[in-house]
Amino acid sequence: MAEIKTFNGLAVSSKFAICGLPIRLDSYKTCSFGCGYCFSNGRKIMEFEKVLQVANVDSIAKRLKRIFVDNEVDESNFLDTLISKNITWHCGGMSDPFQPIENELHVTKKLVDLTKQYGITILFSTKADTFYDCKMDPNLHTFQLSVTNVHDRRDIEPNVPLIKDRIRFFNELKEMGFKVGIRVQPFIPKISDMDIFETFKNADHFTIEGIKVVPQNKEQKEFIKNLGLPMDDFTQMGLLNLKPHIRKSLYKPIIEWMEENHKSYSISDNDLRSLSNSKCCCGDALVKNATDFNTTAMIMDYGTDYALENVMDRVCELGCQDCVCKSLFTSNRTNGCSTVQEFYKERFHKKSSPFSPEFQNK
């Protein structure tokens, strides 16, 4: 095999203000599951070569040694600070950590072996039916299985394992003592249905997030039309989202089922976080240590009228206020802000900011 390029697989997400798991880990770039709805590869701001790349494990190892062994934490470095505070990592946000190439390259295994040395907790998001030969630990690792349907729709997810094998994997994980959630992302009208929730009714948490469309991506728009979803049902929110009243109507019977069955659940759409009963969009039940200044946590504790002071108290308590965050955004989105506290103060009262009360109440 020709030499494979490496990339920086560990970073802070630009969504740190709305997500309780801002530390993102990816083993691979590109994904062989080939899901037609996947927005990450089609989003211009995230564009990268459509060839396999693997995380630079040595670089991550050096950082962890510096932080945990040498006790050298750069307090202005957002990633350093979050790692030193033992915030749980989220692995698999942009590319599946257990896609078939893992059986050959073992990059995820190397990362698991490395992080276990430091007691780092990780939530793994995957569509796979195995974690191969990774040495997982229920005390450190939890799983979030991504399921859009239980009917093996090959026109939508051509290379995803069969649902019977994913159900088997779910049951095996539960039997081994792992916490396992189900993430219905994207929730697709007429395709994602109550069968998902009944099939995985003993999941430890459920997350729902509606389908999104990249405005510039003609292929994805065509894919959406082929599913019978009229573009008139979508509205611009950065990406194109189904209009709020449509999503609320779709989610209503599911939320009623959750409440009747006393389930932990999150609605992960940026404008519908208040419908959740968990403080993290990935679920309190699955997360060992989330930040508490994310949108969902603020809404759960203060309602949708939370104040900037409420957020900043928690940012300062974690020691993130002076961390540099400008590198997480394109130049036209920084508004001249360099640090986390500057970012919040500049954008908190803008209706376009999903972490602002004005956005939640519009």
Model confidence at 79: pLDDT above 80: yes
| Helices 308-318 and 340-347, axial angle in degrees (round to 10) | 170
Quick one: pLDDT at residue 50?
A: 60
The answer to whether the predicted template modeling score (pTM) of the entire model surpasses 0.75 is yes
Q: How many CA atoms lie within 13 A of 240 on its CB side?
A: 18
Structural domains in the chain, sorted by start: 6-296 (3.20.20.70)
Average pLDDT score over residue span 75-104 = 96
Quick one: pLDDT at residue 305?
A: 94
pLDDT tens digits along 255-265: 999 999 999 99
pLDDT tens digits along 270-321: 999 999 999 999 999 999 999 999 999 999 999 999 999 999 999 999 999 9
Locate 302 and state its tokens.
């203060």
Q: What share of the chain is helix, strand, coil (3-state, %, to 5)?
A: 35, 15, 50
Give 39's pLDDT tier (boundaries 50, 70, 90). Answer: low
Model confidence at 248: pLDDT above 60: yes
Quick one: pLDDT at residue 76?
A: 97
Quick one: pLDDT at residue 43?
A: 37
Quick one: pLDDT at residue 85?
A: 98
Which helix or strand (DSSP H or E) is residue 209 part of? strand 205-210
Mean pLDDT rounded to a whole number for the chain: 92
Look at 88-102, 160-174, 322-336 and tell me which has the smallest mean pLDDT.
322-336
Model confidence at 139: pLDDT above 50: yes
- Range with the largest mean pLDDT of 136-150, 318-332, 340-354: 136-150
